[in-house]
């Protein structure tokens, strides 16, 4: 007697269905934990994208200007142009993360500009508004320091971040209200961690590795969900200005 195999259709047993459901549940929980149920991931994405944007601004905007476009006379414009050419390297585009006294983290993207004063050429902070980059998404000034026409997405308090530290090799520091992190890019893809001393007290060497340290090891920015940093995510910048995200180290 021949059996008509068309009458028998392959199907899952109850045990196989349960196993498949368990596997799907595990995968869904894992994906949800890593990508969808974490403000840290959203904050890391935002920071990484804006670091890349800062780098792109630096590539397009060469700050090298050894000769002033105006006579270095006693006028305000003359003093500014003289300072701008003398300290051209202090105008590199930079990404600065800071913390308010009330405990909120925020960042800004700007190119520092000189004043007419000979004692305070560059204040190492964003402002006036002409120094800030503008967001390509909403055309707002790229600073989380709340003010008119600023981009509120750069205020990291909305992501419930409890702590931000940064690490280079064995050295790790915490960003506080008195200690910010600044990352500068030149138009050759070099990364610096400071623009040097403000003012013109002899600090005119763009390659001074003590006052203007060049990044030689990968920098990790650690975004922590709790003060003990048990739950965190890292944003990494290599000496070659490659930005990526990953697990905290």
Using CA atoms, how far apart are residues 78 and 59, in angstroms rounded to an integer?
A: 27
129, pLDDT greater than 90: no
Span 7-34, average pLDDT: 62
CA separation for the pair 174, 34 (Å, rounded): 25
Give the pTM: 0.80
Q: What is the pLDDT of residues 34-71, one digit of tens each?
A: 443 488 999 999 999 999 999 999 999 998 887 777 78
Q: What is the pLDDT of residue 187?
A: 92
Residue 200 has what pLDDT?
Answer: 59
Question: What whole-number distance in Å separates Cα of residue 131 and Cα of residue 141?
Answer: 9
Instruction: Determine the distance from the C-alpha atom of residue 128 to the mean position of all C-alpha atoms in its chain, rounded to a whole number.
Output: 20
Q: What is the mean pLDDT of residues 94-108?
A: 93
Extract the tokens encoding 132: 């800030």
pLDDT at 32: 45
User: Lowest-pLDDT range, 88-97, 107-116, 118-127?
Assistant: 118-127
Instruction: Count CB-CB contacts under 10 A for residue 12.
Output: 10
Q: Where are the beta strands (DSSP E) in 112-246?
A: 163-168, 171-174, 181-185, 191-192, 219-224, 232-237, 243-246
- In this predicted model, what pLDDT tens digit does every residue of 185-205 receive, in sequence order? 999 999 999 887 766 566 677
pLDDT band at 9 (very low <50, low <70, confident <90, very high): low
Q: In terms of pLDDT, which residue wins out, 88 or 166?
A: 166
> How large is the average pLDDT for residues 10-17?
65
Taking the C-alpha atoms of residue 192 and residue 174, their distance in angstroms, rounded to an integer, is: 18
pLDDT, greater one: 229 or 10: 229
Residue 210 CA to chain centroid, in angstroms? 22
Give 211-246 pLDDT, tens digit per residue: 889 999 999 999 998 889 888 999 999 999 999 999
């Amino acid at each position: 007697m021949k059996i008509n195999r068309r009458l028998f259709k392959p199907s899952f047993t109850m045990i196989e269905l349960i196993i498949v459901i368990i596997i799907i549940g595990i995968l869904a929980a894992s994906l949800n934990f890593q990508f969808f149920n974490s403000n840290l991931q959203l904050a890391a994405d935002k920071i990484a994208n804006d670091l890349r944007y800062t780098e792109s601004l630096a590539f397009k905007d060469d700050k090298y200007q050894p000769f002033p476009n105006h006579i270095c006379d006693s006028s305000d414009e003359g003093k500014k142009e003289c300072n701008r050419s003398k300290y051209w390297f202090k105008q590199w585009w930079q990404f600065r993360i800071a913390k308010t006294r009330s405990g909120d983290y925020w960042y800004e993207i700007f190119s520092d500009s000189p004043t007419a004063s000979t004692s305070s050429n560059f204040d190492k902070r964003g402002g006036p508004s002409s120094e800030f980059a503008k967001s390509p998404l909403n055309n707002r000034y790229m600073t989380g320091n709340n003010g008119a026409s600023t981009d509120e997405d750069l205020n990291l308090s909305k992501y419930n971040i409890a702590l931000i530290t940064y690490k280079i090799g064995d050295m790790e520091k915490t960003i506080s209200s008195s200690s910010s992190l600044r990352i500068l890019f030149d138009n050759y893809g070099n990364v610096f961690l400071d623009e040097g001393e403000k003012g013109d007290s002899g600090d005119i060497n763009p390659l001074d590795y003590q006052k203007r340290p060049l990044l030689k090891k990968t920098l990790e920015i650690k975004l922590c969900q709790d003060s003990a940093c048990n739950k965190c995510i890292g944003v990494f910048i290599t000496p070659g200005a490659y930005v990526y995200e990953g697990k905290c180290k």
